[in-house]
Chains A and B, each alone.
Chain A
Amino acid sequence: MKNRYKQLGILIILLLALFFVFSDGYYKWLTGYIFLWFIQAYVAWFLRFKCNQPFVGFSVTMGIGAYGTIVLTTMYGWSNLQAMLVSIVVSAIVAIIIFMSTSRAKGFYVTMVSFLLAIMFPKLIEAMREITGGRSGLYFNGLEVGENVLYTVIILITVAILGFFIWLMSTNTGKIFTLISENDELTQAVGINTFKYKILAYGIGGLISALGGALYVNYTGFVSSIDINVFTTVYITFMPIIGGSGVFYGPILGTLFIRLLPEFLVNVERYLDIIYGCSFFLVMLLLPDGFGPSLEKYIKKFKGGENNA
Chain B
Amino acid sequence: MLNWIISGIIMGGVLSLTVMGIAVIYGITGVTNFSLGIIGVLGAFTTWYLMESFNWLFAVIVGVALSFILGYFIQYFLLNPVSEKGGEPNLYFILTVSLGLIFTGLIKVIFPRPDISLILPRMGLFTIGGITASGLKYFALFFSVSILILLRLLEEKTLLGKKWIATSQNLKLAKLIGINTKQAFCIASGIGYALAAMGAIIWGALYNINLMSGWDLTFLGYIIAVVGGIGNIWGGLIAALIMGMVMSFSGHFLGGMWQSVILYAIVIFVLIVSPRGILGHEKSI
- Cα–Cα distance between A224 and B197 once the two chains are bound (Å): 32
Q: When the two chains form the complex, which single residue of B32, B97, B99 contacts A108, counting CB atoms closer than 8 Å?
A: B32
Determine if B3 is an interface residue (Cβ-Cβ < 8 Å).
no
Complex contact A113–B105 (CB within 8 A): no
- Residues of B close to A123: CB separation below 8 A: 257, 260-261, 264
- Cα–Cα distance between A126 and B90 once the two chains are bound (Å): 30
Q: When the two chains form the complex, which single residue of A127, A274, A288 contacts B109, counting CB atoms closer than 8 Å?
A: A274
Determine if B265 is an interface residue (Cβ-Cβ < 8 Å).
yes
Residue of A nearest to B94 (CB): A284
- Cα–Cα distance between A281 and B272 once the two chains are bound (Å): 33
Residue of B nearest to A48 (CB): B90
Residue of B nearest to A125 (CB): B261
Determine if B146 is an interface residue (Cβ-Cβ < 8 Å).
no
- Cα–Cα distance between A305 and B101 once the two chains are bound (Å): 39
- Residues of A close to B149: CB separation below 8 A: none
Complex contact A273–B104 (CB within 8 A): yes
The answer to whether residues A280 and B97 also contact, given A105-B271, A113-B271, A271-B109 and a CB cut-off of 8 A, is yes
Q: When the two chains form the complex, which single residue of A109, A120, A274, A284 contacts B271, counting CB atoms closer than 8 Å?
A: A109
Please, what's the 1-or-0 string for B96-110, where 1 marks a CB less than 8 Å from any CB in chain A? 011111111110110
Main secondary structure of the interface of A (DSSP, over half): helix
Complex contact A284–B219 (CB within 8 A): no
Main secondary structure of the interface of B (DSSP, over half): helix
The answer to whether residues A120 and B97 also contact, given A281-B102, A284-B91 and a CB cut-off of 8 A, is no
Complex contact A241–B94 (CB within 8 A): yes
Determine if A186 is an interface residue (Cβ-Cβ < 8 Å).
no
Nearest-neighbour CB distance to chain A for B258, whole angstroms, equals: 5
- Residues of A close to B264: CB separation below 8 A: 116-117, 119-120, 123
Nearest-neighbour CB distance to chain A for B89, whole angstroms, equals: 8
Determine if B182 is an interface residue (Cβ-Cβ < 8 Å).
no
Complex contact A113–B268 (CB within 8 A): yes
- Residues of A close to B105: CB separation below 8 A: 271-277
- Cα–Cα distance between A102 and B97 once the two chains are bound (Å): 25
Nearest-neighbour CB distance to chain A for B248, whole angstroms, equals: 17
Complex contact B99–A102 (CB within 8 A): no
Which residues 94-144 of A have a CB within 8 angstroms of B? 101-102, 104-106, 108-109, 112-113, 116-117, 119-120, 123-124, 126-127, 129
- Residues of B close to A126: CB separation below 8 A: 257
- Cα–Cα distance between A272 and B102 once the two chains are bound (Å): 9
- Residues of A close to B242: CB separation below 8 A: none
Determine if A179 is an interface residue (Cβ-Cβ < 8 Å).
no
Residues of B within 8 A of A (CB): 32, 82, 89-91, 93-95, 97-106, 108-109, 215, 219, 222-223, 226, 230, 257-258, 260-261, 264-265, 267-268, 271-272, 275-276
A sample of 7 more A-B contacts (CB under 8 A), given A120-B265, A241-B94, A280-B98, is: A105-B272, A113-B271, A116-B268, A116-B271, A120-B264, A274-B101, A284-B94
Residues of A within 8 A of B (CB): 101-102, 104-106, 108-109, 112-113, 116-117, 119-120, 123-124, 126-127, 129, 230, 234, 237-238, 241-242, 270-278, 280-281, 284-285, 288
A-B contact list, 12 entries, CB within 8 Å: A112-B223, A116-B223, A119-B223, A119-B264, A123-B264, A238-B97, A270-B108, A273-B105, A273-B108, A277-B97, A277-B102, A280-B101
